Every structure is written in structure tokens, then in C-alpha cells.
């Protein structure tokens, strides 16, 4: 469970997150909002890439903000990036094995191979990532996120730019993550069909403020959410 209280992030004069308080309980949760709403900033705060000017984040009772980035990964935070960051010159295996893991030796190898097998999509451990297509590279990042006993997985637009069949495969993988790892998974994406297919609950940000949260279906029908995405006039019609 992630409890965020009164989180504010400022970049110079821009307030990316403005006093956001929200709770992600368990399973797979969605975080949506128009461009510039502060979704990636929220991920950056959780994974340590941005420092909030105020607010607290408690993850399963621990104070996340007190840890430097690499400690958060050791604690169990995993994230993927909007622009995929698979390391080209390494194999799939090494890309997944680079993540911090409490396991050692054979158990660790088995865990890495299991993560690769779990993400599927035709990934083979000893293929060089530089030779893979965009969809498979996304899967390499997802495999890295599920390896090494994660507790909180942050997926930042994993389906961006993928064709429909690869998005469908990704959706099935993401839906299986909580069962596979027991980790709380937060998904940021613009693809509403993916979010509604995968997430039980969803929170919506707009201009750095939380405008709705709750069960995904209800949130997507929410008047404020439709207004944020479509503009007032269309909703009034």
C-alpha cells in the first residue's frame, strides 16, 4: 500500500504536482491524466529522480523519500521509462540480471530466467537487446521490473507506440504481475482500453491535482475526468 500525502513538486515556477494526496491499495492501479498532468513527475518522486518540496510517501509503512535512489531499488521499487531504456549491448539475460536482487547464485539465475519466461513474447535469454524490436525491448524492461522480488512496480507508458497485438500481449503480462510477484503495480498510460483492461482502480491527475480516484469503470465515467480529457463544451452537450 502506498500512501501519498500532500505531495508538491515544483520545477522553478512550474508546479507539477500540487498537494496530491492519494492511496494505492493493492493489485494493479492506473494513473491517468492529460499530457503535463504530473504522472511522470509522480513516478520520479517515487523512484527518487525528483525531490518533492513538501509531502510524504509511505510505502508499506516505510518512508520512501528518506532513501537515495539505488536504495529504493533495493527496497523493491522498480520502474520502466517512457522512452524504453533497455541496454543495447547486453543480452536479455544481462539486462534483467542488472537489477538489484536479494537472491544469490543459482536462485538468482532462476529468478532472472523466470522473469524472462514470464514476460514471454518470444524473448530468449541470450539474444542481444540491440537486435530486438520495440515491443520486445519493452518486454525486457518489464522483465527487469519483475525480477529480484519487487514490492512496487511503476510502468510509465509501456504500450506507447506499440501495435495492437503487442499491446494485447503486454496487457496480459501486466495483469499477471501482481499474481506473479505480489507487488503493487502502478500503470501510467494514455491508452484507455489498456488501463480499463488491466487496472482495478484508477486515479486521475490534471494540472498537478488529483481530480478523481476509485474503481476504473466509475472513474472513466466521472464528469470531471471527461471534462479534463475532452473539454467542458462536449460534456455539456
- Report in angstroms how near the CB of residue 230 gets to other proteins at its nearest: 33
Distance CA 229, CA 234 (A): 10
Site for other proteins contains 107 (CB under 8 A) = no
- Report in angstroms how near the CB of residue 53 gets to other proteins at its nearest: 21
Site for other proteins contains 78 (CB under 8 A) = yes
Distance CA 159, CA 57 (A): 27
**Given the complex with other proteins, which of 95 and 167 has the nearer CB atom?**
95
- Report in angstroms how near the CB of residue 154 gets to other proteins at its nearest: 9
Q: Are 159 and 189 in contact (CB under 8 A)?
A: yes
> How remote is the C-alpha of 60 from its chain's centroid?
17
> Which residue from 23, 75, 13, 77 is spatially nearest to 45, judged by alpha carbons?
77
Concatenating the DSSP letter of every residue in 12-36 gives: TTEEEEEEEEEEE-SSEEEEE-STT
**Given the complex with other proteins, which of 90 and 226 has the nearer CB atom?**
90
Name the segment binding other proteins (CB under 8 A); options: 33-41, 96-104, 193-201, 217-225. 96-104
Query: Binding marks (x or -) toward other proteins, 47..76, rule CB under 8 A?
Result: xxx-------------------xxxxxx--
Amino acid at each position: 500500500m502506498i500512501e501519498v500525502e500532500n505531495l508538491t513538486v515544483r520545477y522553478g515556477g512550474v508546479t507539477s504536482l500540487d498537494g496530491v494526496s492519494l492511496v494505492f491499495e493493492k493489485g494493479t492501479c492506473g494513473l491517468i491524466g492529460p499530457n503535463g498532468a504530473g504522472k511522470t513527475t509522480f513516478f520520479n518522486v517515487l523512484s527518487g529522480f525528483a525531490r518533492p518540496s513538501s509531502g510524504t510517501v509511505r510505502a508499506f509503512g516505510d518512508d520512501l523519500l528518506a532513501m537515495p535512489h539505488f536504495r529504493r531499488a533495493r527496497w523493491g521499487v522498480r520502474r520502466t521509462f517512457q522512452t524504453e531504456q533497455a541496454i543495447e549491448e547486453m543480452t536479455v539475460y544481462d539486462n534483467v540480471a542488472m537489477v538489484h536482487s536479494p537472491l544469490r547464485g543459482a536462485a538468482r539465475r532462476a529468478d532472472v530466467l523466470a522473469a524472462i519466461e514470464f514476460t514471454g513474447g518470444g524473448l530468449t535469454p541470450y539474444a542481444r537487446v540491440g537486435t530486438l524490436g520495440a515491443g520486445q525491448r519493452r518486454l525486457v524492461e518489464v522483465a527487469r521490473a519483475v525480477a529480484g522480488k519487487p514490492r512496487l512496480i511503476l510502468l510509465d507508458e509501456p504500450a506507447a507506440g506499440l501495435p495492437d497485438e503487442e499491446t494485447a500481449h503486454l496487457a496480459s503480462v501486466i495483469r499477471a504481475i501482481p499474481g506473479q510477484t505480489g507487488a503493487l503495480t502502478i500503470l501510467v498510460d494514455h491508452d484507455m482500453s489498456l488501463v480499463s483492461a488491466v487496472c482495478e482502480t484508477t486515479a486521475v491527475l490534471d494540472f498537478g491535482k488529483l481530480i478523481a480516484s476509485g474503481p476504473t469503470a466509475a472513474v472513466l465515467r466521472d464528469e470531471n475526468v471527461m471534462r479534463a480529457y475532452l473539454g467542458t463544451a462536449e460534456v455539456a452537450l
